[in-house]
Amino acid sequence: MKEMSREYYTSLKLLNKRISELQKEKSEIELNIPRRKFASLTAKEEERFAVQIAEHEEKIAIIKIRLRPLVNMKFDLVDVAREVYHYYDLYWYRSPDYSMNKRKGQRFIYSEPRYKD
């Protein structure tokens, strides 16, 4: 199971790499959004400016849509890798999200000592 956990962590590295690439691409697009240089623009310039901003915002929205499931996958992958790594450890209580087990409390139940009659 430890070997399988290593495979999960390798997948996690690849996923982190892709997430960082998309975030870098998003930040570059955000930096390159055209800014208004002059207060008074002609109608054509105003229209061209609005189209450029809309294109940049559309690209950013697409990247956000692509990032959302990747980030969710990342958190799930971390949890599953941790569960697989500790699968045979006696002290490890498995998460109810990734197994059929229900978490049991650690309460001590006092019972009367049994005396021989």
pLDDT, position 113: 58
Higher pLDDT: 106 or 39? It is: 39
pLDDT, position 77: 92
Q: What's the CA gap between 96 and 109, in Å, rounded?
A: 23
What is the DSSP code string of the chain?
Answer: -HHHHHHHHHHHHHHHHHHHHHHHHHHHHHHTS-----S---HHHHHHHHHHHHHHHHHHHHHHHHHHHHHHHHHHHHHHHHHHHTTT-TTPPPPTTSSSPPPPP------PPP---
Q: What is the pLDDT of residues 3-62, one digit of tens each?
A: 888 899 999 999 999 999 999 999 999 898 877 666 677 888 888 888 888 999 999 999
pLDDT, average across residues 93-117: 61
pLDDT, position 10: 93
pLDDT, position 66: 96
Q: Of how many residues is the chain composed?
A: 117
pLDDT tier at 97 (50, 70, 90 boundaries)? confident
Higher pLDDT: 80 or 15? It is: 15
pLDDT of 75 over the 60 cut: yes
